[in-house]
């Protein structure tokens, strides 16, 4: 009678099991990647944005006022400083009567061009909504029952539909427009209207919601930095143990 050996589980593995050196190396590498990856990507995106603004603004700056004219190297960020000063000056001039009159004149001219009119008005409404101090779009977070009953998804709450659109929606209940970000890329998702009673508004910032979505639930809101790093390192450790268990699992007996 052949004695049956119970299958080995990851919890039964000894820390000094075979291949432990490579497993530890992989665990430390993944932990270092978790720490250095976000920092490197943040610096890269910041550097890319600064260079993009510099290349966009530099052709409008006279050569005599460019730092590279007097320095043996270029000065990153000089175009960004010029852009900030120019936009601030433009806002200051627009706030007075003469500047407002010029803006109204330019808007009337753009309004006479059929193709440009729709693009300009749409972009203006988007910018006014996003950068207005009194706007409430995408500053509230909620839960909706999606994609099926009993399953809940995080959504960013936007504005109520216009009167014309609300009249076309079925039912008499007030509708709210929401945006459902997709994981792990929250810039893509679904936009739809949902009855106000179907939304559960939660006390969570949009930054915490984006972090929760990008991490696929690993980093929970309110977690300290140590807990976040421990959670990500735990995922790497679980992958290491699973790899050891698969390597030590005996091969199935060959049936003749």
Spatial strand order in the sheet of 175-181: 189-195, 175-181, 152-157, 140-145, 200-202
Q: Is the peptide bond before 213 cis (omega within 30 degrees of 0)?
A: no
Rg of the chain over all Cα atoms, to the nearest angstrom: 28
**pLDDT tens string for the chain (256 positions)?**
444 545 444 444 444 444 578 888 888 888 888 888 888 988 998 999 989 998 888 888 888 888 888 888 778 888 888 888 988 888 888 877 777 788 788 888 887 887 777 788 777 776 766 666 555 567 789 999 988 888 999 999 888 888 888 888 888 888 888 999 888 777 788 888 988 888 998 888 888 888 888 888 777 776 555 555 555 555 555 555 655 665 555 555 555 4
Nearest-angstrom CA–CA distance, 215 and 37: 13
Tell me the whole-structure pTM to 2 decimals: 0.53
Check residue 245 and report its DSSP letter.
Answer: H
Question: What pLDDT does 209 receive?
Answer: 86
The pLDDT of residue 136: 54
pLDDT of 13 reads: 43
Q: What is the pLDDT of residue 34?
A: 81
Nearest to 153 by CA among 174, 182, 173, 132: 182
State residue 143's pLDDT score.
92
Q: What's the pLDDT at 5?
A: 46
How much is the pLDDT for 224?
Answer: 56
């Amino acid at each position: 009678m052949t004695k049956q050996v119970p299958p080995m589980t990851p919890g039964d593995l000894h820390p000094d099991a075979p291949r432990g050196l490579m497993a530890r190396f992989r665990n430390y590498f993944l932990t270092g990647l978790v720490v250095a990856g976000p920092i490197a990507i943040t610096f890269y995106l910041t550097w890319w944005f600064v260079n993009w603004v510099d290349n966009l603004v530099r052709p409008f700056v006279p050569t005599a006022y460019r730092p590279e004219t007097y320095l043996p190297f270029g000065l990153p960020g000089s175009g960004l400083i010029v852009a900030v000063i120019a936009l601030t000056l433009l806002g200051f001039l627009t706030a007075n009567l003469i500047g407002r009159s010029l803006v109204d004149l330019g808007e009337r001219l753009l309004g006479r061009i059929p193709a440009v009119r729709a693009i300009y008005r749409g972009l203006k409404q988007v910018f006014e909504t996003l950068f207005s101090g009194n706007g409430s779009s995408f500053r509230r977070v909620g839960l909706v029952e999606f994609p099926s009953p009993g399953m809940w998804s995080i959504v960013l709450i936007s504005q109520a539909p216009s009167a014309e659109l609300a009249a076309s929606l079925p039912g008499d209940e007030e509708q709210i427009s929401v945006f459902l970000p997709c994981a792990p890329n929250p810039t893509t998702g679904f936009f739809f209207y949902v009855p106000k009673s179907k939304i559960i508004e939660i006390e969570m910032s949009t930054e915490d919601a984006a972090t929760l979505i990008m991490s696929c639930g690993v980093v929970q809101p309110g977690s300290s930095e140590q807990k976040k790093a421990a959670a990500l390192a735990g995922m790497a450790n679980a992958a290491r143990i699973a790899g050891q268990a698969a390597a030590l699992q005996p091969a199935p007996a060959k049936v003749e």
